[in-house]
C-alpha cells in the first residue's frame, strides 16, 4: 500500500491540435480516460500561431502553473518535452517544480536531445521515454536517472478496402534527414514496374525543395502534397494507403509509424532509434538501411505488386501495435508511475495490464 502524498498533477505540454507527436499522445491520454481517472490539470505551454499568440499562451501557462503551486502545495508535475527550444521552454516550469519540492516526471518526445539536459534528468523523479534506444541514451547521460519505458498509446482503425490504389504514404517533416529525397528516388525507380504508383507527402517542411526534386526526376505528376493533416485527415490517408514509408536517418519512435501499423498498413522504414524494436523485418514490415535507395525501391515494389504479402505484413503490423501500443497497455505504465509517486486517483484506476516487451511484441 502506497502512502497518498499528492492530490493533484500538473501536466504541461502543447495545446490541442498543435502539430507534432506531443499533441497526439496527450489527446490519446485524454480520449482514453487518463484525465478522468487521475486529478490532472493540463496546462498548454505552446501552440501553433503567431509570435504574439504563442507569447500570450506561454504567459497564461506561467500564471496557471503559479496558481496551482500556490493552491496545491503538494502536487506532482508531469512535463512533455521535445528537443531544442521546446525543452528549454519547459525548463522554467521544471525548475520551479523542483524548487517547490514537487516530484517531477519528464517525458521526452522524439530525438535530438543532448547532454545539456542532464541536470533535469538527474533530478526528475522519473524520465519517461518511448523506446529502449531512448532509455539507453538517457542512462548514458544520467546514470542514476529512473527511466520508465512509456510507449505512446495508439489505436487507429480504418475500413478494409477491397482494393487499394498503388499509393505510398509519407507522414513526416519534409526534410533530408527524414529520407524524403531517397523516397522520391525510389518512387522514380518504381515507375517502370508500377506505372500508376503515387506518393502522398503529408507534413510541413521544405515543400518547394521536395517538389522541385520530384520535377527533376520526372515524377511531379505522381507526387501530392497535403501539408500537415489532423487526426481525421490522417485516417483518410491511411485508409487508402497501400504502403507507408519512413526511410529516416534519425528517429526515436515515431507516432506516425505506429499509427500506420495500427491501421494495418504495411511499413517500410529505417531501423533507427526504436523502429527496429517494433518492426520485425520481413514479418511486420520491412527495414531498409538509411540511404539504401535500391533496398527501399525493392521493398515498396514487393508490397505494391504482391498484395497477399502486403495483407500479411499489414495484419502482423496491426497485431504488433495492438499488443504493445493499445491505449490500455500504454496508459497502465503512467498509472503505475503516478501510483508509485503517491498520487491519489480521482476514480478507480483502470485494471493493471501486463506489459509486453517491445521486441517480443514485434
Which residue shows C-alpha cell 491501421? 263
Cell of 95: 525548475
Q: Give me the mean pLDDT over the 76-99 stretch.
A: 94
pLDDT tens digits along 173-223: 999 999 999 999 999 999 999 999 999 999 999 999 999 999 999 999 999
Q: Which of 84-88, 195-199, 313-317 has the lowest mean pLDDT?
A: 84-88
For residue 265, what are the contacts with CB-CB under 8 A and spacing of at least 6? 169, 238, 241, 242, 243, 244, 314, 317
Which alpha helices (H) appear in the chain, and where do they start and end? 21-31, 34-37, 51-71, 85-99, 118-123, 132-141, 180-190, 207-217, 231-240, 255-262, 275-278, 293-305, 307-325, 327-341, 358-361
- pLDDT band of 96, cuts 50, 70, 90: very high
Give percent of the chain above pLDDT 70.
Answer: 95
Question: CA 166, 171, 175, 177: dihedral to nearest 10 degrees?
Answer: -100
Please provide the average confidence, as pLDDT, over all residues in the chain: 92
Give pTM, 2 decimals.
0.90
pLDDT tens digits along 57-74: 999 999 999 999 998 778
pLDDT tens digits along 254-283: 999 999 999 999 999 999 999 999 999 999
Structural domains in the chain plus CATH codes = 9-153+327-361 (3.40.50.2000), 167-323 (3.40.50.2000)
- pLDDT band of 2, cuts 50, 70, 90: very low
Rg for the chain, CA atoms, rounded = 21
Distance in angstroms between the alpha carbons of the first and the last residue of the chain: 34
In the prediction, which pLDDT does 353 show? 55
Higher pLDDT, 352 or 99: 99
Residue 134 reports pLDDT greater than 60: yes
23 CA to centre of own chain: 9
- pLDDT band of 309, cuts 50, 70, 90: very high
Alpha carbon separation from 238 to 169, 251, 252, 309, 310 (Å, rounded): 8, 21, 21, 18, 14
Amino acid at each position: 500500500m502506497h502512502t497518498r502524498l499528492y492530490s493533484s498533477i500538473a501536466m504541461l505540454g502543447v495545446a490541442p491540435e498543435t502539430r507534432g507527436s506531443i499533441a497526439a499522445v496527450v489527446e490519446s491520454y485524454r480520449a482514453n480516460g487518463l484525465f478522468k481517472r487521475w486529478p490532472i490539470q493540463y496546462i498548454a505551454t505552446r501552440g501553433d500561431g503567431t509570435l504574439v499568440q504563442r507569447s500570450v499562451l506561454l504567459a497564461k501557462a506561467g500564471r496557471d502553473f503559479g496558481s496551482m503551486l500556490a493552491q496545491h502545495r503538494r502536487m506532482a508535475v508531469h512535463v512533455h518535452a521535445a528537443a531544442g527550444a521546446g525543452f528549454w521552454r519547459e525548463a522554467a516550469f521544471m525548475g520551479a517544480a523542483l524548487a517547490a519540492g514537487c516530484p517531477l516526471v519528464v517525458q521526452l518526445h522524439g530525438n535530438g536531445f543532448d547532454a545539456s539536459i542532464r541536470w533535469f534528468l538527474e533530478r526528475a523523479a522519473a524520465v519517461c521515454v518511448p523506446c529502449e534506444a531512448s532509455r539507453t541514451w538517457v542512462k548514458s547521460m544520467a546514470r542514476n536517472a529512473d527511466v520508465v519505458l512509456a510507449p505512446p498509446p495508439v489505436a487507429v482503425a480504418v475500413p478494409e478496402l477491397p482494393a487499394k490504389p498503388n499509393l505510398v504514404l509519407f507522414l513526416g517533416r519534409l526534410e533530408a534527414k527524414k529520407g524524403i529525397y531517397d523516397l522520391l528516388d525510389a518512387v522514380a525507380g518504381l515507375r517502370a514496374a508500377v506505372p500508376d504508383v503515387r506518393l502522398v507527402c503529408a507534413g510541413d517542411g521544405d515543400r518547394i525543395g521536395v517538389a522541385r526534386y520530384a520535377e527533376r526526376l520526372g515524377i511531379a505528376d505522381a507526387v501530392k502534397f497535403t501539408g500537415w493533416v489532423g487526426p481525421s485527415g490522417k485516417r483518410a490517408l491511411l485508409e487508402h494507403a497501400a504502403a507507408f514509408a519512413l526511410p529516416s536517418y534519425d528517429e526515436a519512435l515515431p507516432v506516425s509509424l505506429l499509427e500506420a501499423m495500427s491501421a494495418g498498413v504495411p511499413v517500410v522504414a529505417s531501423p533507427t532509434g526504436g523502429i527496429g524494436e517494433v518492426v520485425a523485418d520481413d514479418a511486420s514490415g520491412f527495414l531498409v538501411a538509411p540511404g539504401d535507395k535500391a533496398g527501399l525501391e525493392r521493398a515498396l515494389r514487393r508490397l505494391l505488386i504482391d498484395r497477399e504479402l502486403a495483407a500479411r505484413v499489414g495484419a502482423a503490423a496491426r497485431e504488433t501495435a495492438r499488443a504493445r501500443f493499445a491505449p490500455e497497455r500504454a496508459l497502465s505504465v503512467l498509472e503505475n508511475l503516478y501510483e508509485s509517486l503517491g498520487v491519489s486517483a480521482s476514480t478507480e484506476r483502470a485494471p493493471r495490464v501486463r506489459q509486453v516487451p517491445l521486441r517480443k511484441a514485434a
